[in-house]
Structure 1
């Protein structure tokens, strides 16, 4: 269990970016051993955004960063720490966070990446960024979640290609009044299920190649992931609520990782929550990995479903198998320190 933050940390804004190109189910039907009807019935996904050949994870992340800054009216030079959560980095090194800072024109900002199992990053990376703000050493932290998952889906894998889309989001974090902002965060990992969803490397045929050479492809046991989502995540949601000392009924909104559009209402049904108390983006975006929770929060903000004082429960889960959850008491503009 993670301890509460020692000082108030709020989400000043959430930026987002989705590539312009989309792929619908009819197009996948022509490429894979599947049908549009099967995808729609089993996953509830109708289309997903796919990065252009010249778009890298850093490009998506940069666009999300600029969007967050524009929404908040905060100049780029005010950001004093940049964190990037990704499992599809531009290069093995340096950090993709450094690539984003380079493209943004930030010459001296500290940057680093987090790999918390892809989809769980929407809460894991948020917690890391919040603790840097709470330390008092950093006043404005950008936490960017960006992945081009389409690049690690095998071309003939109907499961992963039907589920995943590309996208990025950015939390802009700043100190806020105590009693507002991000609450107690729970983080858990179940290493016994390590191979349930992992990127497998096919070694290069060149005997002189280094061990990191070869093709990388996401391998996922769909049945195990589904069981994990339906059996473990409902209990975890209740644990997150208990850690905040609230009933689930007290939450104005419960935002889950957008694994697929069919799973979300089934998970909530198991904890007695009706679908009108959540937001679903997977039907139009697919599973956007670590960006899925902040992109769903961003959509709820645009729809006016989140107001100052709203209590939002967020739960993200992904490979590892890992899960993270927290509650956010949404800030008003004057809740943030000058």
Structure 2
């Protein structure tokens, strides 16, 4: 039996349990069971090591490694945008699922780094892959929780008899969202895209439970660019269009909420966390993941890691882990 529990913590906290063995699905409330048909992943070619970063940032390799556990990350090439990564990940997910693009009924793209305010990134992606009759949906303001929110949304769309397959993509170019000289945040963020094709499955298989818990998150924000603070020359000069984060506040929230939501998701699934084989957890920081394993009382190896070599890839993050688990499962 393979079980994957995924959780996120930042602006919201959520978990989804995915099961591949007959089991009751009381934890979802879904009339039709929904499962993963295939996954895809895209990583930019450029690898940026800590050694390269410290040449231009007021920090050290030791500080980065100790605080984050990150040794390297990927950066999107100049001239490329978020949708380029999303399209590549989508193609791979479609290929692995065996579902043609023309059979996709909705394309959901979760990102906090869209190509531009309008048109939506999902619209760009669906036309590029040939899913021309799909419903495009953009989740642009849920940050690192985008992957789980996208799966949650897709599962509900699939309760409609006219929806058979939904493509969910998490894609972020975090390297474009932080100031060039930001010694605190720049080492954390990397660029990537992950995708899953969701479809109806046999009773007793697929998603069996979830739990969500949200709260205001002023500790992670981009202040400028909206109606509260429209972009001006002054906001650009002040760097208000870059991501800002209170690391200590996020640590407290993540280490409190993440284990709690995983425990609640497992309870709703009718299983013990000690029986779960893989935890596809948002890869924000290696220390957060280690603390989560300690609180849950599980071996750290049950939380697969991509953060050391990819960094925090935001909405793509849980999908990077899920893809690795799906590709390497027995």
- What is the TM-score when the length of structure 2 is the normalising length? 0.86
Query: Which secondary structure does the structure 1 equivalent of 2:186 belong to?
Result: helix
Name the SS of the counterpart of 1:31 in structure 2: coil
What residue in structure 1 maps to residue 223 of structure 2? 200
Partner of 2:248: 223
Structure 2 residue aligned with 1:329 = none
RMSD of aligned C-alpha atoms? 2.0
Structure 2 SS opposite 1:154: coil
Say whether the 8 Å CA contact 1:122–1:291 is kept in structure 2: yes
Farther off after superposition, 112-121 or 219-228:
112-121
- Matches of 1:262 and 1:171, distance apart in 2: 27
Q: Cα offset for 1:245?
A: 2.0
Q: Does 1:299 align with 2:327?
A: no
Whole-Å Cα distance in 2 between the matches of residues 161 and 102 of structure 1? 32
Structure 2, unaligned runs of 5 or more = 1-13, 15-26
Cα displacement string for residues 204-242 of structure 1 (whole angstroms, at most 9, x for unaligned residues) = 237xx9x9xx86100000001111122222222211111
Residues 1:86 and 2:111 aligned together: yes
How big is each residue's C-alpha offset from its partner over 1:166-194, in whole Å with a ceiling of 9 and x where there is no partner? Answer: 11011101110111101222121111xx2
Aligned position for 2:149? 124
1:42 aligned to which of 47, 67, 81: 67
Residues 52-103 of structure 1 deviation map (CA, whole Å, 9 limit, x = unaligned):
1111111110000001011122222111211111111111112110011222
Aligned-residue offset at 1:3: 4.3
Q: Distance in 1 between matches of 2:141 and 2:270?
A: 26
| Residue in 1 that maps onto 2:11 | none
Q: Deviations over 1:265-313 (max 9, x none)?
A: 2111111011121200000100110111111011112222xx5xxxxxx
User: Which structure 2 residues correspond to residues 89-108 of structure 1 after superposition, within 5 A?
Assistant: 89-108=114-133
Partners of 1:104 and 1:176 in 2: CA distance = 24
1:185 to 210, 214, 220: 210
Distance 1:248 1:116, change over 3 A: farther
Give the Cα separation in 2 of the matches to 1:48 and 1:289: 12
- Residue 110 of structure 1 corresponds to 135
Aligned residues: 298
